[in-house]
Amino acid sequence: MPPMCFPLLRVESSSMSAIGHSVDSVTSKQFASQFTCPVYHHRERAQINQRRLLRGIAMSQGRGRRNRKHHDKEKIINLGDKGREVMEDINENSQVIQQFHEYAAELDAKHDRYERIFKINRDVGIESKRIIFLLHTIDKESKRNAVLDTAKTRLDNVVQKLFRNIATELDGQDAYQFHRAYRAGIEEYIEALTFHEYLQNGDMQDWSALEKALTYHTTSSPTDSPEQSTSKTMQVMVTPTDYILGIADLTGELMRKCINNLAIGDVSSCYQTCNFVRKIYIAFLGYTSVVHNNEVNKKIITLKHSLTKMENACYTIKVRGSEIPKHMLADVAIAAAEEYATEDDEGYQAF
């Protein structure tokens, strides 16, 4: 307490008479409040607030008056110990427990199978993209047959090795439960397969031919009696939607091929490719008018953009071909195709 406060804390009887009003009319609490040092009053108020704060913290941590009776550790139930006691009393030979063990084993087997199919699907997608890149390297007629033969061999290897492993995993299983695991790979393979067929024949096979190619027939004969052989059929399920989505991705590769052919001076193939993509677009419009699929609706917007770029390039060649030198025609047509603003197009609106 500061020394300056001492004269104010103690008041003698002689000084009491000098006060203008009677001491009797002033209570001791009012008297103390009138003659208390301001510094001391401030410190006392700070200590009171500090004690209240500590009391509030203690009660929030469970040490208040309301929680005193809960501090008896003997009355606290440990859920871990209780659960351990219940587990010890469970009869492992019970039919219910055995049934749940079978459920767990079945789920584990399903998840492991899904992961194995997903890994094969990743290999299918990688190999299919590499085949597409290989087909884009055809820039001369002299190397055309060699590239097409190499791509055909690699496509057959994908069918005989990777997809055969997927068919083995799906044998005896519900294919719809594992369809999502290999759907991306099958779409990439359809894109590569149809791109190869277009470059080789100017056309592409239908969905039934692909389904037939992914059907495998195996023959197994017992070792003790070879004459009693049994045949088994395995198949990789390919839905029509998978095939349609793969064809939609094909149009993007055809657009790139059209622009590349224009850069090397092959103008006639640009018109052919543009007409082919236009036929695909018309077929998609007929499909989406009766079948509503969000993924197909998104693909058709990209298809429209690719077709418009090809049409702009072909239009520039046809209209301005006579007024532009041949060595500059490719650059002008490519620039016209790239000037198409996709964000300004209203896109395809599903019904």
pLDDT at 343: 46
Q: How confident is the model at residue 76 (pLDDT cuts 50, 70, 90)?
A: low
311 is in an annotated binding site: no
Q: State mean pLDDT over 26-44.
A: 53
136-147: per-residue pLDDT in tens?
998 888 888 999
For domain 239-343, which CATH number applies: 1.10.760.10, 2.60.130.10, 3.20.20.140, 1.20.58.200?
Answer: 1.20.58.200
Tally of CB atoms within 10 A around 349: 7
Q: State mean pLDDT over 218-234.
A: 71
Mean pLDDT value across the chain? 77
**CA 28/CA 20 separation, integer angstroms:** 17
Q: State mean pLDDT over 325-331.
A: 67
For domain 96-208, which CATH number applies: 3.90.550.10, 3.40.50.300, 1.20.58.190, 3.60.21.10?
Answer: 1.20.58.190
168 pLDDT exceeds 70? yes
**How large is the angle between the packed helices 294-320 and 267-288, nearest 10 degrees?**
150
Of the ranges 25-39, 207-221, 257-271, which one carries the lowest mean pLDDT score?
Answer: 25-39
30 pLDDT exceeds 80? no
Q: How confident is the model at residue 195 (pLDDT cuts 50, 70, 90)?
A: very high
* Burial category of 287 from C-beta neighbours within 10 Å (exposed 0-12, middle 13-18, buried 19 and up): middle
**In the chain, which residues fall in CATH 1.20.58.200?**
239-343
* Angstrom distances, CA of residue 137 to CA of 49, 144, 146, 310: 82, 9, 11, 20
Global pTM reads: 0.68
102 is in an annotated binding site: no
Nearest to 313 by CA among 275, 258, 241, 239: 258
**In the chain, which residues fall in CATH 1.20.58.190?**
96-208
